[in-house]
Chain A
């Protein structure tokens, strides 16, 4: 893997004006973490557009390199496979996000609208545009086909009520990356009591997403 990327790794790093420069291997690891978290989380997570852009740049470099390799060279097929794998992970990540944006569209837009000034954004600018268009398109359609022909007091549908919210109480598998102490676990039923757990580094658990949601966003746990 490093063989295919080392030829242009230095180019990427020199163009990078960030303080902490990532190696290509670290970038792909970050992409895979974001991908797994997004796949297994019931709700839409923070967008990672910097990672997406860097990975796309990386893929272009690799494609360009591949053009220069002699046809029929055995290395070419390995590089090709690597490019395909990375592109698959990237596409799968973006698809998972798009599916959640479409599934929960009014809630996603509401969350984005009501987030604080300094909070990281949930949607990339392109995703935001897509979500707004999806909302408008669906609303226009429902009005045109049925709502405008209904009695006056029933001509609108409250999208926030009509579209179900993500189920934050679904259970997820996770692996602990940074030790956590005193995590409060809320009771599920009336005859249970809340209790506190410590999460050891490297341990794996099956827990309700709601309990560990903040830990996912700070990178202290990885969904698996």
Chain B
């Protein structure tokens, strides 16, 4: 049946409910585009024949193929757009450098879109407050306490806090650090908030 491949692409994304980005389905995309090309050519032929020979009974099939073409276009744009939204969410979650396993799942054009999105966002944030700039990806949660206890999950090297002291973030070490400095590292999985 027509449009099955397109719907399969949608289902593939629908299955991943936690915002994960599956590998780009290059094959699936190609198959849908091929089906669209075939449908279009059949329609061109039928339209010419209907006009030339006055065969009005071809019109329902022409309409059907046109509906399938529209449905394929709609499913493809939905698939592609939903992937963009997932990538956008990842920018806000992980920062401007995405984990390698995510990048492998992105096709070249998606990497391009992402790089452009990052640039737009960065220049927007820089321009806030008359050029002062404000990093909107920080302060995601309302501040509850000033300092928090954190455990280091992996070696991250030296880390400087506001009053100049340098902390060595070694795996399994625990520190009492200012909350606002730790936020991004917690989201990236380098530190873990210890709730005693």
Residues of A within 8 A of B (CB): 52-53, 55-57, 60, 71, 77, 80-81, 84-85, 87-88, 90-92, 94-95, 98, 102, 126-127, 129-130, 133-134, 137-138, 140-142, 144-146, 149-151, 154, 157, 162
Chain A residue contacts of B130, Cβ below 8 A: 53, 56
Interface centre among A77, A84, A127 (most CB of B within 10 A): A84
Contact, CB under 8 Å: A81 / B143: yes
Q: A56-B128, A133-B120, A157-B77 are in contact. Are A91 and B143 (CB under 8 A)?
A: no
How far is A124 from B124 in the complex, measured between Cα atoms in Å?
Answer: 11
Residues of B within 8 A of A (CB): 29, 33, 36-37, 40, 69-70, 73, 76-77, 80-81, 84, 88, 107, 109-110, 112-113, 116-117, 120-121, 123-124, 127-130, 132, 134, 136, 138-143, 146, 163, 179-180
Contact, CB under 8 Å: A134 / B73: no
Contact, CB under 8 Å: A80 / B146: yes
Chain B residue contacts of A144, Cβ below 8 A: 109, 112
| A34 CB to nearest chain B CB (Å) | 15
Q: A87-B139, A141-B113, A154-B36 are in contact. Are A126 and B124 (CB under 8 A)?
A: yes
Contact, CB under 8 Å: A145 / B109: yes
Contact, CB under 8 Å: A91 / B136: yes
Chain B residue contacts of A162, Cβ below 8 A: 77
Contact, CB under 8 Å: A137 / B33: no
Contact, CB under 8 Å: B80 / A130: no
Partner of B124, one of A80, A130, A137, A146: A130
Contact, CB under 8 Å: B127 / A85: no
| A59 CB to nearest chain B CB (Å) | 8
How far is A91 from B142 in the complex, measured between Cα atoms in Å?
Answer: 10
Contact, CB under 8 Å: B109 / A126: no
| B14 CB to nearest chain A CB (Å) | 17
Contact, CB under 8 Å: B138 / A142: no
| B56 CB to nearest chain A CB (Å) | 21
Chain A residue contacts of B73, Cβ below 8 A: 150, 154, 157
Chain A residue contacts of B139, Cβ below 8 A: 84, 87-88, 91-92
How far is A134 from B36 in the complex, measured between Cα atoms in Å?
Answer: 28
Chain A residue contacts of B33, Cβ below 8 A: 146, 149-150
| A64 CB to nearest chain B CB (Å) | 13
Chain B residue contacts of A60, Cβ below 8 A: 132
Chain B residue at minimal CB-CB distance from A54: B129
Contact, CB under 8 Å: B77 / A91: no
Chain A residue contacts of B107, Cβ below 8 A: 145
How far is A60 from B134 in the complex, measured between Cα atoms in Å?
Answer: 11
Chain B residue contacts of A133, Cβ below 8 A: 116, 120
| A129 CB to nearest chain B CB (Å) | 7
Chain A residue contacts of B69, Cβ below 8 A: 151, 154
| A28 CB to nearest chain B CB (Å) | 15
Contact, CB under 8 Å: A141 / B36: no
